[in-house]
Amino acid sequence: MVVLPAIFRHTSVKVITVFAMMVAFTWSRASYAHNVTPGDAGYIQEIWGVHIIPFMYLGAKHMVTGYDHILFLFGVIFFLYKFRDVAIYVSLFAIGHSITMLIGVWYGWGINAYIVDAIIGFSVVYKALDNLGVFKKWFGFQPSTKAATLIFGLIHGTGLASKILEYQISEDGLLPNLLAFNVGVEIGQILALCVILIVMGYLRRSDNFPKYAIGANVVMVFLGLALMTQHIFGYVHSHAH
């Protein structure tokens, strides 16, 4: 009996498959999760003074096109059904993301972009495994999901700070521009979250959602591993020359 084709005829699984294909397509269009496009990088390097709206736009654009952020958020809210819970976890991620991005750029410290992006890939794997209940099964205890969300938020922000530092933003108007960028990131996060919630609402209407939830999180594990592998090989390659 051939099970796989029968399963993939279900609408819910089709949505999951499309989601995975969209992420794979994004990888084919971008080399690194936190890269700033050449045009945006040139703009950042050439301007001086306060530019609130442009930096808000750049922040929103980064979040909306940041597939690592979106994958992690997708995992975070996967089994959250109450708006209050969604708000708490998304806020924890936003707080962590904001702290390290702002402090990292302001004080000029960051981590090698390949390393931090590999860790971000691991955050996707971790959250998917958490959703699958693996830690309880393997180790007999459940790590704090709130603490993990905050910690990985700090790591995601460090990744962004590390990339921004490479473009040497002018110190003239730096703080207002960074705050505007961060506001833009949060706006982009809200937009991405709305799309995710719509998709999740659609999936949850299926009577077979628990079954398909397993498949979705398994896909996330492999996507996270692919991210990790991509950046580890990038790190090795960059140090081989």
* Region 213-236 average pLDDT: 91
Least confident range of 10-14, 111-115, 168-172: 10-14
Q: Are 153 and 94 in contact (CB under 8 A)?
A: yes
Which residues, at least 6 apart from 65, have a Cβ–Cβ distance to it below 8 Å?
26, 30
* Region 32-52 average pLDDT: 63
Does the residue 69 lie in any domain?
Answer: yes
The pLDDT, as a whole number, for residue 219 is 92
- How many separate domains does the chain show? 1
The pLDDT, as a whole number, for residue 132 is 93
* Region 49-64 average pLDDT: 84
The pLDDT, as a whole number, for residue 120 is 92
* Region 191-203 average pLDDT: 89
Measured between alpha carbons, how far is 128 from 118 in angstroms, rounded to an integer?
Answer: 16
Does the residue 147 lie in any domain?
Answer: yes
Does the residue 172 lie in any domain?
Answer: no
Measured between alpha carbons, how far is 95 from 155 in angstroms, rounded to an integer?
Answer: 11
More confident residue, 89 or 28: 89
Does the residue 174 lie in any domain?
Answer: no
The pLDDT, as a whole number, for residue 40 is 62
Q: Provide the pLDDT confidence category of residue 27 given band limits of 50, 70 and 90.
A: very low
Does the residue 107 lie in any domain?
Answer: yes
146 sits in which H/E element: helix 145-165
Domain of residue 118, residue span: 64-165+186-238
Which residues, at least 6 apart from 5, have a Cβ–Cβ distance to it below 8 Å?
none
Does the residue 118 lie in any domain?
Answer: yes
Does the residue 77 lie in any domain?
Answer: yes
More confident residue, 48 or 181: 181
Inform me whether the pLDDT recorded for 87 exceeds 90: yes
Measured between alpha carbons, how far is 55 from 4 in angstroms, rounded to an integer?
Answer: 46
More confident residue, 204 or 148: 148
Inform me whether the pLDDT recorded for 203 exceeds 60: yes
Inform me whether the pLDDT recorded for 206 exceeds 80: yes
The pLDDT, as a whole number, for residue 24 is 47
* Region 163-185 average pLDDT: 83
Q: What is the largest CA-CA distance in the chain?
A: 67
Does the residue 219 lie in any domain?
Answer: yes
Average pLDDT of the residues of the chain: 81
More confident residue, 159 or 32: 159
Inform me whether the pLDDT recorded for 159 exceeds 80: yes
Q: Are 192 and 61 in contact (CB under 8 A)?
A: no
